[in-house]
Structure 1
Amino acid sequence: MNDDPRAAFDAALIPGMRDRLADAYREFRAREAEAIATLAPPASGGSIGAYRDRDCPICGTPAGAARPVLQAHGLTLLDCPGCGLTYTRQVMEEAADAGRYRASALDEALIALRLSEPYLELETARARYYLDRLAAQGAAGGRLLEIGSGFGTLLVEAGQRGWQALGLEPGRLGATATRRRGATVVEGYFPQDLPDPAARFEAIAALDVLEHMASPLPFLADIRQRLAPGGLLFIQVPNWDSLLVRLEGAASSVVCPGHWSYFTPATLTGLLARAGFRALEVGTVQSEIDRQAAFAPEAVAAALNQLRPGEAGVPDAARLHALKLGYKLVGVFAPG
């Protein structure tokens, strides 16, 4: 029996879970592929809006000094020689970027997936684990804000633990679904649509949000201003050090328009430090070990050694997490 609490929401480790999710995921992936084609830069066939070029959004090192590492969907990913961040050379203009959150066929497929019974089982277990991590670091109650609250599972679970939970969600379908589940949510953006600009929170969560920020540092500064004394920040982002992501390369669904920054444990911690936060804990969730098994053992071992020099063989889920090579990167951070 796996006694790691992360196993409770790791689809790869739960017998039959992939089969239960298959139909909803098949429809979602089809709609996702259509959305990616639409959101690509116009020069690559996209139709949403204009893009601009930029330098490193963290340290400002000119893009001309960076090393190209990948090209996909009309985007060039660069490694910054100044701070180590991997980021897209091109970024969508703000007004066009906001259009991604209007209701679409992708949203319909996403709601069918995320409110399906098997997915909710995983999401609920994950939310409980995240609340446990906050509690372990000293945040067990008070006011909780989730930025980009999706379909409200973290808010629902937080409310059941006695938190005064509020969500901010730019997507109308997500906000509507959250209200139907009994949680409190405002349809809008952080920080301008907060109902009370003076409110301070004992915990703020941003799950799969930071990678969408063209300018992460001002976003994190706004978060810091709205934490109560002793308040904590919980972050989840796709892990650029994920062994599966590196094996899939440009074919990974993590690499797409809308994801403007690609964080590793080191660059996430470095960014938060620049924003005035210290890391209390950083780790990974979701092994995707079954998808990793689709690759030849030699390819897996080579990718592992490239990411963590000196490591060899084919890692299991426990070793992936120990090396911080899981699919998602999570962390708890405190100001100061």
Structure 2
Amino acid sequence: MADGTSWSAADTEATVCCLCGVPGEVVHRRPPFAVVRCPICALVFVSPRLTAPALQRLYDEPAYFEGGVYGDRTRWSPAMVLQRVWSHGRLADLARLRPPPASLLEIGSGYGLFLAAARDAGYQVRGVELSHTGVQVARSELGLDVVEGQLADAPTDPVDVICFWDTLEHVPDPLQFLRQVRARLAPDGVIALSVPSVSSLPARALGSRWWTLKPEQHIWHFTPRTLALVAARAGLVITSVVRSPVRAANAGRLDSIVAFGRALPERVDGGAPDV
């Protein structure tokens, strides 16, 4: 399915902006999908999009993790070299913010390549992954502690570092997801993430031909501004953003951003953070 299997309207559902609760205005049509923009906050998302059962079928396909940025994990490939460069750069950035032996949770851990690198760097690691194939590889081949399922299925004890690389664009509701992240983040904890950037030059120049559009799986598209908006509503603040493709954390990626953040302080009356 990841290699171009056709989807029908029966596999899709309509949705609304997770921030404003309103339908979006069409930007691109890729039947049976449409890429839309919220008329209030400008967050870009897919509606109609795949239903949860259809998405699960997509992620359970072994071919989902092969090729593309994942490459062939069984042999040398440029994609695997990039994976190692990203891991090295992101861990170097994290070490300046929250060094090992801090606890680290990766959401959407895939085959466990970043988790294994973080473990080798001295972090105490755990993962959460929706794909059955990804979980089995991470557990059996790399010996990692990975929960199969959504973030809601993961332990709720506080974590020092929570990472989600190329994950936020896939979740059904990024606001709800980030609220769950904040609930698991230690008071002095750090979040780290990467997302495709819909305001990048390739995205703006190529429009509906943008190679990262992928409406069957990328159902939310962020700019640095809309990412900060969703994070703030969830009680988080983005403290730095890496856009440069020459930085190791984002090496070779012309249409991606890497971001770091922390929790906003709670109000003294115990209520939600002021945002």
Q: TM tier, shorter chain? A: 0.7 to 0.9
Pick from 262, 265, 274: which aligns with 2:233? 274
CA distance in 2, matches of 1:55, 1:270: 16
Matches within 5 A, 1:183-262: 183-194=143-154, 197-256=155-214, 257-262=216-221
Q: TM-score, normalised by structure 2?
A: 0.84
Pick from 27, 31, 50: which aligns with 1:69? 27
Whichever of the two has the greater Rg, that structure is: 1
CA distance in 1, matches of 2:143, 2:13: 38
Q: How far off its partner does 1:162 sit?
A: 0.9
The answer for the alignment partner of 1:59 in structure 2 is 20
CA distance in 1, matches of 2:62, 2:141: 21
The answer for the alignment partner of 1:152 in structure 2 is 112
Indicate yes or no: 2:242 matched with 1:283: yes
Matches within 5 A, 1:104-183: 104-107=62-65, 109=67, 113-118=72-77, 119-183=79-143
The answer for the alignment partner of 2:53 in structure 1 is 95
Q: Deviations over 1:55-95 (max 9, x none)?
A: 212221x22xx432111242222221211101112122223
CA distance in 1, matches of 2:74, 2:164: 20
Amino acid at match of 1:223: V
Identity of aligned residues (%): 27
Assess, with a 3 A threshold, how the Cα gap between structure 1 residues 285 and 116 changes in structure 2: closer, same or farther: farther
Q: Deviations over 1:257-277 (max 9, x none)?
A: 121111011111111111111
Assess, with a 3 A threshold, how the Cα gap between structure 1 residues 281 and 114 changes in structure 2: closer, same or farther: farther
Q: Deviations over 1:121-154 (max 9, x none)?
A: 2211111111122222334431101111112121
Q: Number of paired residues?
A: 257
Q: Contact (CA 8 Å) 1:172, 1:187: kept in 2 or not?
A: no
**What is the aligned-residue RMSD (CA, Å)?**
2.4
CA distance in 1, matches of 2:12, 2:169: 17
Secondary structure in structure 2 of the residue aligned to 1:57: coil
Q: How far off its partner does 1:327 sit?
A: 1.6
Secondary structure in structure 2 of the residue aligned to 1:113: coil
Q: How far off its partner does 1:104 sit?
A: 4.0
Secondary structure in structure 2 of the residue aligned to 1:97: helix
Amino acid at match of 2:113: T
Amino acid at match of 1:279: I
Q: How far off its partner does 1:108 sit?
A: 5.1
Matches within 5 A, 1:10-21: none
CA distance in 1, matches of 2:110, 2:133: 9
Secondary structure in structure 1 of the residue aligned to 2:240: strand
Q: Contact (CA 8 Å) 1:75, 1:88: kept in 2 or not?
A: yes
CA distance in 2, matches of 1:116, 1:207: 22
Assess, with a 3 A threshold, how the Cα gap between structure 1 residues 139 and 232 changes in structure 2: closer, same or farther: farther
Indicate yes or no: 2:254 matched with 1:326: yes
CA distance in 1, matches of 2:33, 2:91: 35
Assess, with a 3 A threshold, how the Cα gap between structure 1 residues 271 and 247 changes in structure 2: closer, same or farther: same
**Which segments of 5 or more consecutive residues in structure 2 lack a partner in the other structure?**
265-275
Q: Deviations over 1:168-200 (max 9, x none)?
A: 122233223323543413251233432xx3422
CA distance in 2, matches of 1:126, 1:163: 17
Secondary structure in structure 1 of the residue aligned to 2:194: strand
Secondary structure in structure 2 of the residue aligned to 1:78: strand
CA distance in 2, matches of 1:185, 1:100: 23
CA distance in 2, matches of 1:141, 1:211: 29
Amino acid at match of 1:241: S
Q: TM-score, normalised by structure 1?
A: 0.69
Q: Contact (CA 8 Å) 1:152, 1:181: kept in 2 or not?
A: no
CA distance in 2, matches of 1:220, 1:282: 17
CA distance in 1, matches of 2:151, 2:232: 21
Q: How far off its partner does 1:233 sit?
A: 0.9
